[in-house]
C-alpha cells in the first residue's frame, strides 16, 4: 500500500527551512531546560515519601487521584499492589515526615471514603525514598542512553562501512530525544523512569526509520553513478516516503489510543512516544538524510 506514488519532492533543496524549524525547536527546549535548571524530575529521581494504604473495599484509581489532587498532591503517583486491596502512593516534597504524611493521608481517606478503610488501622507502609536512590536511577538512565548511542554508531558504521553515517544517524536521534525532553520541560511535565523508557523506545524507532532511508541511499549510490549526491538523496527519500508515513501513522494511532484511553499511569509515556513519533518522522526525512549531503558538500569544499 502506498500513500504517495512517484513523488519528487526536493528535500535537500528545502533543507534550510528544516534546519530553521529544528533550530527553533531545539533552542526553545534548551532555553526552557536552562531556565528551569534541567528537566522536572519525578520521585524516582528526586526522592520522596512512599505510603501504602490497605483498603477493605477497592476504591477506583480515578477517585483516589481526584482526592490526592484536592488534598494538595496533584503530582502523586499511584500503583496497585498485586492483592488488589492496597495502593502505593508516592509523593515528592510534602514537608512532612513519612509517618506524619501516612497518618494524614489515612485519616483523610477514612473521611472521604467511609467504610472502605479501617479507621483504627495505621498505613501498611510509610517510608522515605532517599535521593541516593534517585541519583543511582539517573546515572543508570544516562548510562543506558550513552551506551545505546555508542553501540548505534558502531553498528551503523559497520553496516554502511562509514563512520559518517553512524554519526549522522545519532545526531538525528539526539535531535529527537532533546526535543522530547524539551517539550516535557516546556509543559512542566515530570521525567520519570517510565518516560525514560519511552524516550529509549523512541530512539530505537527513530533509528530504525533512519536506517531504512540510509539503506535505500546506499543502494542508489551503487546503482546511480551519473546522479549527484543531492539527487540520489532526494530520490531515496521519495522512494521510502510512503513507507515512512504509513509506519508513523500506524504507530501514532496506537499510541494515541494509549494516550487518550490508557489512564494517567501511562499518560506521560504515551505522550513522549506520540510527540516522538511526529518529531522522529520529521527528522528522518528532513534531518538524517540532508545532513549527510551538508557534511559531504562541506568536506569537498
Lowest mean pLDDT among 78-82, 134-138, 190-194, 260-264: 134-138
- Calpha distance 126→103 (Å, rounded): 9
Q: Give how many domains the chain has, as a whole number.
A: 2
Parent domain of 255 = 15-42+132-300
**pTM over cut 0.85:** no
CATH number, domain at 21? 1.20.1640.10
DSSP labels, 182-208: HHHHHTT-EE-HHHHHHHHHHHHHHHH
Same domain, 186 and 278: yes
Same domain, 139 and 29: yes
| 199 belongs to a structural domain | yes
| 10 belongs to a structural domain | no
Mean pLDDT of the region 262-273:
84
What pLDDT sits at residue 179?
93
- Tens digit of each residue's pLDDT (9 = 90 or more) over 45-102: 777 888 888 888 878 888 888 888 888 888 787 877 756 678 888 887 667 788 888 8
Same domain, 95 and 140: no
CATH number, domain at 84? 3.30.70
**CB contact at 8 A, 126 and 98:** yes
Domain limit, last residue, from 107, 129, 151: 129
| 144 belongs to a structural domain | yes
**CB contact at 8 A, 202 and 273:** yes
| 179 belongs to a structural domain | yes
Containing H/E element for 29? helix 15-35
Same domain, 105 and 211: no
| 75 belongs to a structural domain | yes
What pLDDT sits at residue 134?
61
Instruction: Quickly count: other Cβ atoms within 10 Å of residue 186's Cβ.
Output: 14
Same domain, 138 and 113: no
Q: Which three cell numbers stand for residue 236?
A: 531515496
Residue 287 clears pLDDT 70, i.e. is over it: yes
Amino acid at each position: 500500500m502506498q500513500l504517495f506514488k512517484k513523488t519528487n519532492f526536493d528535500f535537500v533543496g528545502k533543507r534550510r527551512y528544516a534546519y530553521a524549524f529544528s533550530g527553533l525547536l531545539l533552542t526553545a527546549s534548551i532555553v526552557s531546560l536552562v531556565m528551569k535548571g534541567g528537566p522536572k524530575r519525578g520521585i524516582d529521581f528526586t526522592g520522596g515519601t512512599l505510603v501504602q494504604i490497605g483498603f477493605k473495599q477497592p476504591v477506583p484509581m480515578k477517585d483516589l487521584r481526584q482526592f490526592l489532587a484536592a488534598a494538595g498532591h496533584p503530582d502523586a503517583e499511584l500503583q496497585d499492589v498485586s492483592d488488589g486491596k492496597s495502593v502505593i502512593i508516592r509523593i515528592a516534597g510534602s514537608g512532612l515526615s513519612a509517618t506524619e504524611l501516612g497518618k494524614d493521608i489515612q485519616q483523610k481517606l477514612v473521611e472521604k471514603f467511609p467504610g472502605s478503610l479501617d479507621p483504627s488501622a495505621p498505613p501498611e507502609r510509610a517510608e522515605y525514598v532517599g535521593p541516593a536512590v534517585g541519583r543511582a536511577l539517573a546515572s543508570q538512565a544516562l548510562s543506558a542512553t550513552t551506551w545505546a548511542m555508542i553501540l548505534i554508531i558502531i553498528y551503523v558504521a559497520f553496516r554502511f562501512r562509514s563512520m559518517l553515517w553512524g554519526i549522522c544517524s545519532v545526531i538525528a536521534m539526539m535531535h529527537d530525544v532533546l526535543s522530547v525532553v524539551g517539550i516535557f520541560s516546556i509543559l512542566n511535565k515530570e521525567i520519570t523512569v517510565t518516560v525514560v523508557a519511552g524516550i529509549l523506545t523512541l530512539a530505537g524507532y527513530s533509528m530504525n526509520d533512519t536506517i531504512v532511508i540510509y539503506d535505500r541511499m546506499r543502494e542508489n549510490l551503487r546503482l546511480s553513478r551519473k546522479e549527484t549526491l543531492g539527487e540520489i538523496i532526494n530520490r531515496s527519500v521519495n522512494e521510502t516516503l510512503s513507507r515512512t508515513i504509513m509506519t508513523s501513522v500506524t504507530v501514532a494511532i496506537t499510541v494515541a489510543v494509549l494516550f487518550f484511553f490508557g489512564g494517567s499511569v501511562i499518560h506521560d509515556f504515551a505522550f513522549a512516544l506520540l510527540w516522538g513519533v511526529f518529531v522522529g518522522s520529521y527528522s528522518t526525512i528532513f534531518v538524517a538524510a540532508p545532513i549527510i549531503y551538508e557534511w559531504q558538500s562541506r568536506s569537498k569544499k
